[in-house]
Structure 1
Amino acid sequence: MTDRVSIPVIVNGAAGKMGREVVKAVVGASDMTLFGAIDVKPDLAGLDVGEILGIGPVEVPIMNDLQSVLCAAAQESGSAVMVDFTHPKSVYDNVRAAIAYGVRPVVGTTGMSPEQVQDLAEFADKASIGCLLIPNFSIGMVLLQQAAIQASKYFDHVEIIELHHNQKADAPSGTAIQTAQMLAEMGKTYNPPLVSETEKLPGARGSLADEGIRIHSVRLPGLLAHQEVIFGAPGQIYTLRHDTSDRACYMPGVLLAIRQVISLKSMIFGLEKIL
């Protein structure tokens, strides 16, 4: 039983904004052990990750060689987990390497192509290794998406606005894309055109996702992570909004994912699938 043993956890991107929160959460969890802390910043290599985060020494140095840590975890444990909050350019290789070593990935990094996701799903399935791809670890966002699905039964017009800090590397956000996909799976086409639209500036109407759903991305300092799903009908507007004010809100979902991925044998996409 995974709740009776200590789960070894590798945090990839440990010195990043999300990685720091994950390290703190793992260190504070009674059923987990921080096995490794990976970050590409060369000036941090060898330093105690706890000292860097201001939580005191945890006797885990920051390393910049993911492969060596995965190898060590595979040799010591058959139930290690890698939590990845890195960059869209590196996440595919990170996840593929983890699966190859038998380390179960929990992935919060977004920006992979559908082809990359499909390849990783097939690789995880062949290896019988659990893998969780989760665009958003917030319970509140799961509730918003479920409410949007219910609303879609009664509204034919919907657009999505996602707002993030200006250091986010991919757009639209993985959460917005996932929300659009969930709405598209309802078996209807949204936003039937009433006029022939012309964009005076390319992209003014946002990205066009499946089934006619538009996604608009905003990037500004001062924002963290926010999403609106706006439904419209004659005489009324129905708005669902989720606002993140602290990254700590994601940690219950991250810890749940770490505990759940141990028992999986394939890839699962979305936090709602394990709640």
Structure 2
Amino acid sequence: MAAQSTIPVVVNGACGKMGREVIKAIAATEDITLVGAIDKNPAVQGQDIGELAGCGPVEIPITSDLEAALVMAQSEGTAVMVDFTHPDTVYNSVRAAIAYGVRPVVGTTGLSPEQIKDLAEFADKASIGCLIIPNFSIGIVLMQQAAQQAAQYFEHVEIIELHHNQKADAPSGTAIQTAQMLSEPNKSFNPAQVEETEKMAGARGTTTADGIHIHSVRLPGLIAHQEVIFGASGQIYTLRHDTSDRACYMPGVLLAIRRVMPLKSLIYGLDKIL
């Protein structure tokens, strides 16, 4: 059997800000072909997704029927579903994609550890590759790697993540993943110096099991930003990543679409496929 010439892709959440960027990125590639655009907004049903995304007509109408799009994509060959939807719906969408033999590339955050474990087991049984990527930015991967190194030498660290005020989940998946990457066996962070009292609940953010504080900011005008701040006697070491345009995520998205093809199981994090 001849190898398929392009990768068929369905974009779930196609009309969102990230979805539209994915549509434009796919339209500019030669080895990836858009075959479906899913969005629940009734006002856009039937419209050409290329025109809505701003890259010109692509002759793919927007539909709300994910399962029909998955069936059609699977008939085109080994296919991929890119998901940028909502924490409330992403789990069911990913399970549906795996059930239909379509490989999910998931940028939606908010999945619980239990849901990720269940999806990993489901993907293993189906021998279907799945990528869950909290952040598709190469810069974030480099920041996390630098933070891992710093965590070996600092006992005090806090994470501040800042996003637009339409983001539904907090803390961000990137902040949670960063905290997980800093964790070391038998090590805890931020040993108490005084007995703290929060005069207002949540003033110190949320705290991981090993003592890392995470703070979430939601404001219009922001896109996605993160600081990892380490402190020690006489010094502060700050790592910061700022997003000024969602186009910065597209090289990571396209890489994930290509890398998920031969996989037979679920992988979490962009760093695992670089």
TM-score bucket of the superposed structures, by smaller chain: over 0.9
Decide whether aligned partners of structure 1 residues 185 and 71 sit closer, same or farther in structure 2, where only a CA change above 3 A counts: farther
Question: What amino acid sits opposite 1:40 in the alignment?
Answer: K
Q: Which amino acid aligns with 1:97?
A: A
- Matches of 1:3 and 1:87, distance apart in 2: 34
Alpha-carbon distance in 2 for matches of 1:185, 1:252: 31
Q: Superposition pairs for residues 1-275 of structure 1, below 5 Å?
A: 5-77=5-77, 79-185=78-184, 187-275=186-274
8 Å CA contact 1:4–1:31 kept in 2: the answer is no
String of CA shifts for 1:3-41, please: whole Å, max 9, x gaps.
Answer: 972000100001000000000101111101001011011
Distance (whole Å) between structure 2 residues aligned to residue 69 and residue 259 of structure 1 = 20
2:171 and 2:214 in contact (8 A); partners too:
yes
* 3-state SS in 2 of match to 1:182: helix
The 3 A distance-change label for structure 1 pair 3 and 202 is farther
Q: Distance in 2 between matches of 1:52 and 1:93?
A: 26
> What residue ranges of structure 2 are gaps of 5+ in the alignment?
none
Matched residue SS, 1:250: helix
Asked whether the 8 Å contact 2:170–2:216 carries over to 1, the reply is yes
State the distance in 1 between where 2:115 and 2:10 align: 22
Provide the aligned C-alpha RMSD in A: 1.3
Deviation at 1:75, TM superposition (A): 2.4
Q: State the TM-score, normalizing by the size of structure 2.
A: 0.97
For residues 185 and 173 of structure 1, the distance between their equivalents in structure 2, rounded to whole angstroms, comes to 21
Aligned residue pairs total: 273
Give 1:250's aligned amino acid. Y
Deviates more, 1:114-123 or 1:186-195: 186-195
* In structure 2, distance between residues paired with 1:221 and 1:52: 23
User: Alpha-carbon deviation of 1:210?
Assistant: 2.7
Question: CA offsets per residue over residues 85-129 of structure 1, 9 Å max, x none?
Answer: 000000000000000000000000000111111100000000000
Separation in 2 of the partners of 1:166 and 1:143? 26
Q: Following TM superposition, by how much is the alpha carbon of 1:187 offset from its aligned partner in structure 2, in angstroms?
A: 4.8
SS in 1 for 2:110: coil
| C-alpha distance in 2 between matches for 1:236 and 1:274 | 34
Change (3 A) 1:3 1:23: farther
Q: How far, CA to CA, are the matches of 2:185 and 2:25 in structure 1?
A: 36
Q: Deviations over 1:200-234 (max 9, x none)?
A: 10000000113100000000011110000000000
Q: Residues of 2 paired with 1:133 and 1:251: CA distance?
A: 15
Contact 1:165/1:219 (8 A) holds in 2: yes
CA distance in 2, matches of 1:146, 1:160: 14
Task: Give the alignment's TM-score, normalised by structure 1.
Answer: 0.97
Once the two structures are TM-superposed, the CA of residue 43 in structure 1 deviates from its matched residue by 1.3
SS in 1 for 2:195: coil
Q: Residues of 1 paired with 2:106 and 2:162: CA distance?
A: 21
* Gap change, CA 1:178 and 1:150, over 3 Å in 2: same
Q: Equivalents in 2 of 1:101, 1:70: separation in Å? A: 7
* Deviant stretches of 4+, over 3 Å: none
Code of the aligned partner of 2:29: A
SS of residue paired to 1:211:
coil
**In the aligned structure 2, how far is the partner of 1:53 from the partner of 1:253?**
19
Q: Could you say what secondary structure the match of 2:160 adopts?
A: strand
Deviates further, 129-138 or 44-53: 44-53
CA gap of 1:3–1:198, structure 2 versus 1, over 3 A, is farther
Q: 2:210 aligns to what SS in structure 1?
A: helix
Unaligned runs of 5+ in 1: none
